[in-house]
Structure 1
Amino acid sequence: MNDRTAEISAYWDAAAAAFDDEPDHGLRAERTRAAWAARLRSWVGAETASPRVPADALEVLDIGCGTGSLSLLLAEAGHRVTGVDLAPRMVEQARAKLRDAGLPARFLVGDASRPPTGVDRFDVLLCRHLVWTLPDPHAALREWAGMLRPGGRLVLVEGRWREAGQTGTPYVAGAASLPWSGGVTAEELAAAVRPSVASLRIEPLSGEADLWGGPVDDERYALVAEV
């Protein structure tokens, strides 16, 4: 682990205790939780192009899984979930969340740019609010597309943030030099993903207040692509 990676890991470790206090992180409000469950069904569920397994039993990789709130919804829907996060304390909370719910899932500590999943391939790769933290997001996107089986789906929930940090405290030193510091527009992300996929669509999410626990005034969207 290099100095920058260690610094980033420490930042998110420090954020872990209060991470679920954000409405769209902890999904504690039933309306917010239901909104995310519905979106995940539309992105990950019956419309998936993968013929390998039934739509209710897909292999899903949750990149930057944080405390595992979306992983929990995916496991509740019957999917086989692997979560990866750089912060050990985030992973500890994710494991506890799924264990308390009595649901199986695998959680790994590792770099989102190069998930430590070996030769495993997935039907769906989900990533929410992470690409702005990556030093080489284009390389990561190519890596992720290559981890999907033919007909698999890449689901990126992203945005162009009013502030780069998601916890209300300054992000790590040098963050302003990251290629997508502060987030990435839908147009720019689509341009980066398009060479690695067969098709993609953008779903605007800024107006979906239930997803965020209230109104937002920045750009938020989902990019859903198939390989």
Structure 2
Amino acid sequence: MDDHSTAIAAYWDDVAASFDDAPDHGLHAEHTRRAWQRRLQAWIPGGPADVLDVGCGTGSLSLLLARSGHRVTGVDLAPRMVERARHKLTAAGLEAHVLLGDAAAPPTGGRRFHAVLARHLLWTLPDPQQALRQWVARLQPGGRLVLVEGRWHPAPESETPYAAPATSLPWHGGIGAADLAAAVRPLTAHVRTEPLSDDLDLWGGPVQDERYALIATARDI
């Protein structure tokens, strides 16, 4: 990794131990797990599918996908996040591959997936447009790109400043649904968005910012 990637990995390593404290990260509450499970079942093609979870963090969504019978590959840049994801899946008796690597350019070789999933990842990337191209390139014809994103209200300053710094990132603060759809549309055959801000079970309570899912279908050729 270059110095920039090393700094970003170190940031996420520092927050790995407390990452699951957030209701929508750890999914400790049953109603929150069920809310995410319902959404994932609607977004990911039916039947056992090959799913790439980029920026998988501690693996909470990878775990839900594996429980649904999908063949999951997770990727994360931070070694401690990867360690926690692997432990979470192993403890549940589920099989998934969790790789250490750059989520913006997943180390999956020429493998193609039925679905690529990313949640709250794009704001962290120095080149989110290139990441979108990389993810679409890893989809099988007709596969699904599922992006859970938002446009965030300013958050309190973290005790550990982000490595970039955050204000220099192209999509610092997130990106709205219309703007992300415009970025994804030239890369795919079909794009739709679903508002998620009002689904309180997903987040563990009310949220005031824009949160949504974007679901795009890869071209057949």
TM-score, normalised via structure 1 length = 0.93
Q: Is the 1:137–1:179 contact (alpha carbons within 8 Å) kept by the matching residues of 2?
A: yes
State whether structure 2 residue 78 is matched by structure 1 residue 78: no
The whole-number CA distance in structure 1 between the counterparts of 2:72 and 2:58 is: 14
Q: Which consecutive residues of structure 2, in runs of 5 or more, have no partner in the other structure?
A: none
Query: What is aligned with 1:180?
Result: 171
Q: Superposed, which structure 2 residues align to 1:14-163 within 5 Å?
A: 14-44=14-44, 48=45, 55-163=46-154
The answer as to whether partners of 1:164 and 1:181 remain within 8 angstroms in 2 is no
TM-score by length of 2: 0.95
Question: CA, structure 1 residues 81+173, in 2 after alignment: closer, same or farther (shift >3 Å)?
Answer: closer
Is the CA contact 2:11–2:160 (under 8 Å) kept in the aligned structure 1? no
SS across alignment from 1:41? helix
Give the structure 2 partner of residue 207 of structure 1: 198
Task: Specify the code of the residue in structure 2 equivalent to 1:21.
Answer: D
Indicate the residue corresponding to 1:5 in structure 2: 5
Alpha carbons of 1:167 and 1:220: their partners in 2 closer, same or farther (altered >3 Å)? farther
Aligned residues: 218
Describe the shift of the 1:165–1:135 C-alpha distance in structure 2 as closer, same or farther (beyond 3 A).
Answer: farther
Q: Work out whether residues 43 and 155 of structure 1, in 8 Å CA contact, stay in contact via their aligned partners in 2.
A: yes
Aligned partner letter, 2:208 = D
Write the distance in 1 (CA, Å) between the matches of 2:89 and 2:157. 23
Deviation at 1:172, TM superposition (A): 2.1
Q: SS of the counterpart of 2:170?
A: coil
Tell me by how many angstroms 1:174 deviates: 2.3
For 2:39, the aligned partner's letter is R
In 1, the alpha carbon distance for the partners of 2:5 and 2:181 equals 27
Matches within 5 A, 1:187-226: 187-226=178-217
Q: Distance in 1 between matches of 2:30 and 2:190?
A: 33
Aligned mates of 1:168, 1:159 — CA distance in 2: 23
Counterpart-to-counterpart distance in 2, 1:159 and 1:84 = 21
CA distance in 2, matches of 1:26, 1:167: 19
Q: Secondary structure at the match of 2:88?
A: helix
3-state SS, counterpart of residue 152 of structure 1: strand
Q: For the residues of structure 2 that align with 1:95 and 1:61, how far apart are their CA atoms? A: 15
Are the equivalent residues in 1 in contact too, given 2:8–2:164 (CA < 8 A)? no
Q: Secondary structure at 2:62's aligned position in 1? A: helix
Amino acid at match of 1:24: D
Per the TM alignment, residue 121 of structure 1 is displaced from its structure 2 partner at its CA by 0.6
Paired letter, 1:204:
P
Q: Give the superposed CA RMSD.
A: 1.4
Secondary structure of 2:143's counterpart equals strand
Name the CA distance, whole Å, in 1 between partners of 2:130 and 2:163: 21
Identical-residue share of aligned pairs (%): 65
Counterpart-to-counterpart distance in 2, 1:143 and 1:122: 12
